[in-house]
Structure formats: C-alpha cells, structure tokens
C-alpha cells in the first residue's frame, strides 16, 4: 500500500515543508529561546496535533466543505486570520514571545493551546493537506481513506518533531542573545510581523469552486 520510493519522496517533501519559515515553527523557536527545551517540545508537538486536526477534517469532509461552501470558507478564514493577527499584535506589544526578563513563564497548557490554535485555525494547512497528500495516493493500492490518514499522521509527526527540534536547538543559542535587548526586540517584532502577514494573507485568500 505504501511503496518505499513513494514514501521516501513524500517524506522529503514533508521535511522541506516543515523547514519552511512560518508562524508555527516561530512559536516553537520563541518558546525554546525563552523557556527552554520542554516548552519548545510542547509547542512543536501541539503544532503537529493542529496539523493532525487538518488531516482528519480533510479526510472526513470538512475541508471539502470549505472548498464547496463560500460561507463556510469565509467564516473559517476570518476566524483563523483574526487569531493570527491578534497573536502578532500581542507579540509586538508585549515583546513576550522571546524574553529573558524575570517575568512569569507561560504555563505548558497555555503554550500547548496557543500552538494548537495557531495551526488548527489557519485554513491554509487544511487546504494544502487536501491538495498535497492525494498526490501520493494510489487507489489501486488499497483504501484511499487509510492512505490519507497514514500519510497525514506521518506529516503531523514530522511537523511536531521538526518544530520541537528547531525550538530545542534555538534554546542552545539563548546564551548568545541574553542581555542584547535590541536583538531580542527585533526577534519579537519579526515574529509578530510574521503572524500578522500570515493572517493578512489568509484574509486575501479567494474561494475557489
């Protein structure tokens, strides 16, 4: 059902997608810089769970609904974009995503929820999963649903692992920027702008029938 050459090609494509800069891996990196390995791992893992949410909805029809219903597409688009834009302004205003000041650390539950919502409320991954994964599915090799789920779960696992490793690696660099307020401020500002631009790009998405 899963030819090795197809699986390797799919895995390579997934890794490239994971490495591409975006709001979710920035969250994991920010948590790693600010709160260390555990916070980075939690953020990365729950971003992967957010992707798993899109895989499930794509497999069982919600993403198809977004493609066929302009109203549903518009509602999900506005919710996801609003959350990312709000998150971006919050990061810029508070400068709290990356900080080494003696402030209250974010709880792991807060970190997990933020990472999950950032991934799950963004309609782009759902539409992408629906367009991307079927390219590797062959109905002649067995159940399309099972293939969709297995490929999707693998993508979610690679996402969670990749983002976690990015955050853990970034935490090793924290000693280099502690006390450098301009760098820290710039990193927070850049992260906030990334969230806002991603949200605006979602708002600009058009519904395709």
Q: Residue 145: what pLDDT? A: 82
Count other Cβ atoms within 10 Å, centred on residue 143: 12
Sign, Cα dihedral of 52, 58, 62, 65: positive
Instruction: Answer yes or no: pTM beyond 0.95.
Output: no
Please give the span between the terminal C-alpha atoms of the chain, in angstroms, as a whole number: 31
Domain assignments of the chain as residue spans, ordered by start:
22-203
pLDDT over 70 (residue 98): no
DSSP one-letter code for 101: S
Q: Which of 106, 107, 127 is nearest to 51 (CA)?
A: 127
pLDDT over 80 (residue 74): no
144-165 tens-digit pLDDT: 788 888 999 999 999 999 999 9
DSSP one-letter code for 142: S
User: What is the pLDDT confidence band of residue 88, given thresholds at 50, 70 and 90?
Assistant: confident
| Neighbour-count burial for 189-205, b at 16+ CB within 10 Å, e otherwise | eebbebbbebbeebeee
DSSP one-letter code for 96: -
Count other Cβ atoms within 10 Å, centred on residue 99: 18
DSSP states of 5-32 as a string?
HHHHHHHHHHHHHHHS--HHHHHHHHHH
How many angstroms separate the CA atoms of 98 and 114, rounded? 15
How many angstroms separate the CA atoms of 138 and 43, rounded? 33
**Which of 1-5, 45-49, 62-66, 128-132 holds the top average pLDDT?**
45-49
């Amino acid at each position: 059902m899963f030819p090795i050459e197809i699986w390797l090609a799919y895995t390579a494509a997934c890794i490239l997608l994971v490495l591409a800069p975006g709001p979710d891996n920035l969250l994991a990196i920010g948590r790693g810089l600010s709160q260390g390995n555990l916070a980075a791992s939690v953020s990365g893992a729950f971003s992967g769970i957010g992707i798993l949410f899109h895989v499930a909805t794509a497999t069982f029809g919600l993403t198809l609904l977004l493609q066929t219903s302009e109203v549903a597409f518009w509602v999900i688009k506005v919710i996801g974009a609003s959350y990312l834009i709000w998150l971006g302004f919050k990061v810029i205003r508070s400068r709290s995503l990356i900080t080494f000041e003696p402030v209250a650390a974010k709880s792991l539950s807060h970190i997990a929820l933020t990472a999950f919502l950032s991934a799950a409320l963004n309609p782009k991954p759902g539409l992408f999963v629906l367009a991307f994964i079927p390219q590797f599915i062959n109905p002649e090799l067995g159940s399309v649903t099972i293939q969709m789920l297995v490929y999707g779960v693998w993508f979610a696992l690679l996402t969670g692992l990749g983002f976690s490793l990015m955050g853990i690696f970034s935490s090793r660099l924290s000693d280099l920027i502690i006390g450098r307020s301009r760098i820290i401020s710039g990193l927070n500002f850049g992260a906030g702008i990334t969230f806002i631009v991603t949200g605006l790009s979602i708002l600009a998405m058009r519904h395709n029938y």
